[in-house]
Amino acid sequence: MSSTSEIDALIDLMARLPGLGPRSARRAVLHLIRQRGRLLQPLAGAMAEVAEKARECLNCGNVGTSDICDICTDETRANGQICVVEDVADLWAMERGGAFRGRYHVLGGTLSALDAVGPEDLRIPKLMDRVTAETISEVILALNATVDGQTTAHYIADRLESRVALSSLAQGVPIGGELDYLDDGTISAALSARKRL
């Protein structure tokens, strides 16, 4: 197809990124070659570094570059509140909102009967452990307003309601909406107006 095997190999790998197909991968690779010093070399270096260092936080499931992530070790953040999210993209969306200064717990997905995802396939047992081990006053269920997200929220709420105060993001999250698509102000408003379960 294109000129040489190294360039073809790069195009094939780029085409496997979400949001890029073969055509946009070819465009991206030509752009990278034209911007070799300003973009291609730094990108190769940044990827190698992240490939070497990135890991999941053993405590909360966030991605970072050490066994316990920056948020879990940040002494300026409040203990006692855990915000439960489906995935790291949702944690990042919450952080962009900037309204939450507690800790997180990333489930790594939602319960799904269809896909045979049970509690032990997610970080739900670890969440139960944290509620036991840490002094937690409130668990905020910031799951997506989808059927699977709400099923998962109810499952967790059932198991924690006798042990800790529970709340969920309230006003501002549209029906069927996903956190990562919302603007920062909407997330902040939904957090402030969270309702007790």
Question: Contact residues for its own copies (CB under 8 A)?
Answer: 1-4, 6-7, 9-10, 13-14, 16-20, 23-24, 26-33, 36, 39-51, 53-54, 62-66, 69-71, 87-89, 92, 95-96, 180
Query: For residues 113 and 115, what is the distance between their CA atoms, to the nearest angstrom?
Result: 6
Q: Determine, following the binding rule CB under 5 A, whether residue 152 of this chain makes contact with Zn ion.
A: no
| Cβ 33 to its own copies shortest distance, Å | 5
Torsion angle defined by CA atoms of residues 122, 126, 128 and 131, in that order, rounded to the nearest 10 degrees: -130
Which of 11, 14, 29, 62 is close enough to bind Zn ion by CB under 5 A?
62
Query: For residues 98 and 11, what is the distance between their CA atoms, to the nearest angstrom?
Result: 37
Is 36 in a helix, a strand, or coil?
A: helix
Which of 10, 72, 106, 140 is close enough to bind Zn ion by CB under 5 A?
72
Nearer to its own copies, 9 or 193 (CB): 9
- Provide the pairing of β-strand 138-141 with 81-85: parallel
Nearer to Zn ion, 14 or 91 (CB): 91
Nearer to its own copies, 11 or 160 (CB): 11
User: Which amino acid is residue 187, in one-letter code?
Assistant: I
Query: For residues 30 and 7, what is the distance between their CA atoms, to the nearest angstrom?
Result: 9
| Cβ 66 to its own copies shortest distance, Å | 8
Query: For residues 72 and 93, what is the distance between their CA atoms, to the nearest angstrom?
Result: 17
